Structure 1
Amino acid sequence: MATYPIAFPPQSPAQESLRVAFQQAVMESPHTFAQQTVSNADHWVLEFVWPRMSHGDADRVAAWLDSLKGQIGTFTYTPRNAYRSALTGRTLALAAYSYSDTVSVGGWASNSPSDLFLGQYCQIGERLHRITSAPANADASGRCLIEVVPQVRKTQNAGTAVEFVKPKGTFRLTTADSYAYTLDTDRQPSFPTINAKEAL
């Protein structure tokens, strides 16, 4: 029996769409049209397509998909990124509280370049995040105040590792139906678009 989450297959997707879905509501005054927004939660939505592959590889991928047993199983996924980070040894300098989108990360030399960039992925605890705001340099204490999406889901203690080199998130399929490949006109296996969402 599989122990979840399981690792993603070695075959890299040919296309990938990873976006944050927000649970929000907007209320508008019928008199002044002034708007008030409420944001309750957010999570990752993942869509990907595998390239054409050999029959052997396709059978292994199909077996991997079947091992998820629809929406029961979960898998880990590291997003593709044109720029890879070499930052290691970074931890939360302060506790990151649930439903906060700002975290304090330590591990830099005083006032040194942060080597952080907008759109960069990181992993805090078991959750994948994307940086939306970061300083160019650490402060005098070697800390960087970083804004991320999605929000921190559950409180993470100070000292929790922050992974920049190979961050990953945990996902589950959005359907209970199994994904199967079809044979294209050249008799080569072809999978449909796979849809998944963050497992919370």
Structure 2
Amino acid sequence: MPCSEKIVQWMHDYLDGDIQKEEEQQLRSHIQQCEACREHFYALKKTVAFVENVSHFTPSDDFIKKVMYNLPREKRRVRWKRWFTHHPFLTAASLFLLLSTSSLWAVWQEDNEFSFSKQEHLIVQNHTVIVPKGKIVEGDIVVRNGDIKIEGEVHGNVTVINGHKYLASAGEVTGQIEEVNEVFDWIWYNVKRVGYNIAKTLTK
């Protein structure tokens, strides 16, 4: 996952040709040091190159009209069956998404247990995870069914599921801070996490 929205915006500005020279230098310097951002940037460049190559093939204005006119009409049931037959990946993906959403809904309804990712320097008091002042926690922190109070530094992302975050004036988080307190937010959080893992596997 890219480090911040600012880095991602610089990537988009670079690909659109709108990036400032100073921002481009910072982006290049960051990409050389951050493997996740470098992989994301190269994946974006591949996508842009693919779209640009495809856009060179332009059919005639009446091509689609002629093709549709010459196609035999089918019953609606046959059309649906043919669509599912010719798009097995999309069919499987849709079914997987439906089943996953149902499962996540059930888990959200039943999972009320307090839990958190185990990292050094974290303190727990009454279902509240505390990052002490003057301490640095490395890596992403995920807190379920509880709160987090950040007084020190977190070098990673912070996600609070069914809880709240409290950031002290001296607290600092280098990544993103996200609160997931609604079932649809939680489903979307899991979908993004699965999608990121799949994309990371494909770009290797």
TM-score by length of 2: 0.22
Quick check: which one's helix share is greater? Answer: 2
Which protein is richer in strand relative to its size?
A: 1
Tell which structure's C-alpha radius of gyration is larger. Answer: 2
Which of structures 1 and 2 has the larger relative contact order (alpha carbons within 8 angstroms, sep 6+)? Answer: 1
